[in-house]
Amino acid sequence: MTVASTLALVLALLLVAIAAWTVATRRTFAAVEGFVAYGLLLSIAWVSLKAIDVALTEAAIGSGLTGVLLIGAAARLRTTEAALSAERPGTPLRWLAAAASAAVAGAIAIGVLSLPDPAPTLAPAVLEHLPSIGLGNAVTAVLLAYRGIDTLLESIVVVFALIGVWSLAPDRVWGGYPGPRQYADPNSILAYLARVLPPIGIVVGLYIFWVGADLPGGKFQGATILAAMWLLAMMAGLADAPPISRTWLRILLVAGPLLFIAIGLAGALTAGAVLAYPEGYAKLLIKVIEAALLPTLVLTLALLVAGAPERTAPR
Amino acid sequence: MSVFLDIFTVAAVSAGAFFFLAGIVGLLRFPDTLSRLHALTKADNLGLGLPRAGGLLAALKLVVVWLLVLLASAMVSQMVARVARRGGSPS
């Protein structure tokens, strides 16, 4: 066995072990930790499969952002956790859940194993037409040119998710500041980090967004890094999230998807199909759409973590 | 020349792996939070730093990554230690 295949085997075994542990552990917090570690290992697996775009997204969104959201949820559940874990579901219910999970896993396994070899792929066709779009990164081309409708719906879904989080607010603080106000010692190590890291993080985030046209990267990954920098400043008490009733905030939240829809509809007139780009303008329009989606995504991702409004806005 | 580079690379990577191993043993065996933290961060810093020195030729990017990890691990260990000192640690 070669070194590479040994490493791949170890990685696969670790992934299965962490996944099993995440499911088996009784403590919510430990399960979240397992989930984050699982996501990071999974992104290493994607790197070893040469799917750098997927690895970046997995590390940023799958493990990072979802991990933070789950940690917040676990912290909220802590007071009721003892009562919840004392109350075990009955044996028939647990067997039923196990049977349903095994059936789903089995169905997926049969589906994957019965794929013809080589699996059907459109990758050569995408690569062949890549020059006509003007992009160097095939993943970005697929996301914004061939499967534009998916990306459009994705960018709308995250805004809906944010509205869902906001709608958990009690009436009296509706329109107020999200989450509790963070107070930290201005001389603390966290405040120091929140001053040192954002300049670096903002440059890296914008670079990853910009380079997405030709190399692995893109708006989602860049937006996660930028949102993380904003959240760091919020946690250190150096910045506060805006009240959710601010007009500029609401405009920015819908501006990205609206511009995407507008350009998509304009494609019906100029290129003959909705979400098609006129000849020669594809790269420009894709970058415009991505640039408009970036602020939407940064705000959405950061405010998702900041949570539902808990403090009233100043009159 | 390339033989020396290879020897240097193997030595540095092995030393890095040793520090990682020592750090993990410390993490698993040390009695309390603060000494576990000590084992983890000290070993991680060198463990990550030495393999970096091993790949000297394509290294500038890795130097920056290493510096960022140093910053992050120093900060995180400080914050974990603070929580542990205030008595927030379960064991």
Nearest neighbour of B78 by CB, restricted to A189, A197, A200: A189
Q: Is the pLDDT of residue A302 over 50?
A: yes
Residues of A in contact with B71 (CB under 8 A): 193, 196-197
What whole-number percentage of chain A has pLDDT above 90? Answer: 29
Where in chain B are the domains?
A: 2-85
Mean pLDDT score, B1-16: 75
Which residue of chain B is at minimal alpha-carbon distance from A193? B75
User: Cα–Cα distances in Å, from A188 out to A198, A236, B19, B73, B82?
Assistant: 16, 9, 30, 16, 10
For strand A309-311 and strand A177-178, is the pairing parallel, antiparallel, or unpaired?
antiparallel
Ramachandran angles phi, psi of A260, nearest 5°: -60, -45
Mutate to test the interface with B, among A187, A189, A202 (most CBs of B within 10 A): A189
**Which residue type, as a one-letter code, is found at position B73?**
S
pLDDT of A35 higher than 90 = yes
- Substitution target from B37, B78, B83 for chain A, most A beta carbons within 10 A: B78
Average pLDDT on A4-10 reads 87
DSSP code at position A236: T
The residues, any chain, with a CB within 8 Å of residue A200's CB and separated by 6 or more, are B68
The 10s digit of each residue's pLDDT in A242-272 is 888 888 999 999 999 999 999 888 888 887 7
| A205 Cβ contact partners less than 8 Å away, ≥ 6 residues apart | A222, A223, A224, A225, A226, A229
pTM for the model: 0.82
Residue A11 has pLDDT above 60, yes or no: yes
Distance CA B10, CA A45 (A): 25
Q: Residue A263 and residue A285: Cα distance in Å, rounded?
A: 8
CB contact under 8 A, B68 and A192: no
Residue A184 distance to chain B (closest CA, Å): 12
Q: Do B75 and A200 touch (CB under 8 A)?
A: no
> Which of the two residues, A156 and B11, has the higher pLDDT score?
A156
Highest mean pLDDT among A35-44, A282-291, B30-39: A35-44
For residue A77, what are the contacts with CB-CB under 8 A and spacing of at least 6? Answer: A28, A84
- For residue A192, the chain B residues in CB contact (below 8 A) are 75
Q: What is the mean pLDDT of residues A285-294?
A: 88
Closest A-chain CA to B74: A189
Nearest Cβ partner for B79 among A190, A196, A197: A190
Q: In chain B, what residues touch A193 (CB-CB under 8 Å)? A: 71, 75
Q: What distance in Å separates the CA atoms of residue A116 and residue A111, rounded to the nearest whole number?
A: 10
Which of chain A's residues have a Cβ under 8 Å away from the Cβ of B78?
189
Residue with tokens 């602020």: A295
Give pLDDT, residue A314.
67
**Cβ B79–A192 below 8 Å, yes or no?**
no
Question: How far is Cα A21 from Cα A8, in angstroms, rounded to an integer?
Answer: 20
pLDDT at B1 over 70: no
Residue A131 tokens read as 């020059």
User: In angstroms, what separates the C-alpha of B75 from chain A's closest C-alpha?
Assistant: 6
- Terminal-to-terminal C-alpha distance of chain A: 70
Residues of A in contact with B63 (CB under 8 A): none
Q: State residue A145 phi and psi, 5-degree precision.
A: -110, -55
DSSP secondary structure letter of residue A310: E
Q: Which chain B residues contact residue A196 at CB under 8 A? A: 71
Residue A148: partners with Cβ closer than 8 Å, 6 or more residues away: A264, A275
ipTM: 0.71
For residue A192, give how far its alpha carbon lies from the nearest alpha carbon of chain B (Å). Answer: 9
Q: What percent of chain A has pLDDT over 70?
A: 99
Q: Is residue A202 a contact partner of residue A127, using CB atoms and an 8 Å limit?
A: no
- Domains in chain A: boundaries: 1-87, 125-315
Environment class of residue A25 by beta-carbon count within 10 Å: exposed (0-12), middle (13-18) or buried (19+)?
A: middle
**Tens of pLDDT, residues A204-230:** 999 988 888 788 878 888 999 999 999
With beta carbons under 8 A apart, name residues in chain A contacting B73: none
The residue type found at A24 is A
> B91 falls in which pLDDT band (50, 70, 90)?
very low
The model's confidence at residue A107, banded by pLDDT at 50, 70 and 90, is: very high
Omega before residue A198 within 30° of 0, cis: no
Average pLDDT (A46-55) is 87
Per residue in B48-89, pLDDT tens? 666 555 455 566 777 788 788 888 888 888 888 888 777 755
Alpha-carbon distance A215 to A213, whole Å? 6
Per-residue pLDDT, averaged over B37-47, amounts to: 71
pLDDT: which is higher, A143 or B56: A143
Interatomic CA distance for residues A83 and A104, integer angstroms: 30
Helix axis angle, A282-306 to A148-166, nearest 10°: 20
CA distance A123 to A136: 14
